[in-house]
A and B are shown apart, each in its own frame.
Chain A
């Protein structure tokens, strides 16, 4: 019977933790903004545009994998908080995309179009909100 997943981190785990929480996110931010800046300066649909567009993807995949591993290391309450946070965030994120899509159809594009690269940071907000609410519930 394994009632927990919390263990004292060793040096190897600390190294992994450093990579998960600092190195990979930093690389993702650099790759993302580098790609966004670079894409505007190359010909659309060219090989360079494709390479730049896909540049941040591996780093985001690593970030997601780090998140999954972190959740697996949590104890049962930690996992429940994550579940409740996601259960709150996912429908809200859908609502944001749905609303933006309808506004787009209605011609309200804002200063720049409601494209996904501009919308996805908004999807993190309901996740953080959901996690904060769940933490509050169990504190």
Chain B
């Protein structure tokens, strides 16, 4: 039996986007109103943010949410 973690693992471009703006993790965390640990966990893909936080990230970088977060592999998505 597959779990959600197996089927919709996410990858993201947060580290790249942050580096492009020359922001530290602490600075990004402050802009998002979360802890530095949260930013680090998202960047290292150990933690998938909630939908509101993902939208906040996308809005901060003036991108669409799918430009920041993407499923790791379309082929591993859960089938309906």
A77 is contacted by which of B38, B52, B55 (Cβ under 8 Å)?
Answer: B38
Q: Which residues of B contact A5 (CB under 8 A)?
A: 33
Binary interface profile of A, 1-44, with partner B (CB < 8 Å = 1, else 0)?
Answer: 11111110000000000000000000000000000000000000
Complex CA gap A80/B46 in Å reads 12
Closest to A1 in B: B52
How many interface residues does B have (CB within 8 Å)? 17
Is B35 a contact partner of A77 (Cβ separation < 8 A)? yes
Is A77 a contact partner of B56 (Cβ separation < 8 A)? no
The smallest beta-carbon distance between B59 and chain A, in angstroms, is 9
For chain B, residues 21 to 77, give those with C-beta under 8 angstroms from any C-beta of chain A: 29, 32-35, 37-38, 40-41, 46-47, 49-50, 52-53, 55-56
The smallest beta-carbon distance between B34 and chain A, in angstroms, is 4
Interface residues of B (CB under 8 A from A): 29, 32-35, 37-38, 40-41, 46-47, 49-50, 52-53, 55-56
Q: Which residues of B contact A7 (CB under 8 A)?
A: 33
Interface residues of A (CB under 8 A from B): 1-7, 74-78, 80, 137-139
Complex CA gap A74/B38 in Å reads 11
Complex A-B: 10 CB contacts under 8 Å: A1-B56, A3-B56, A4-B53, A4-B56, A6-B29, A6-B35, A77-B38, A78-B38, A138-B41, A139-B41
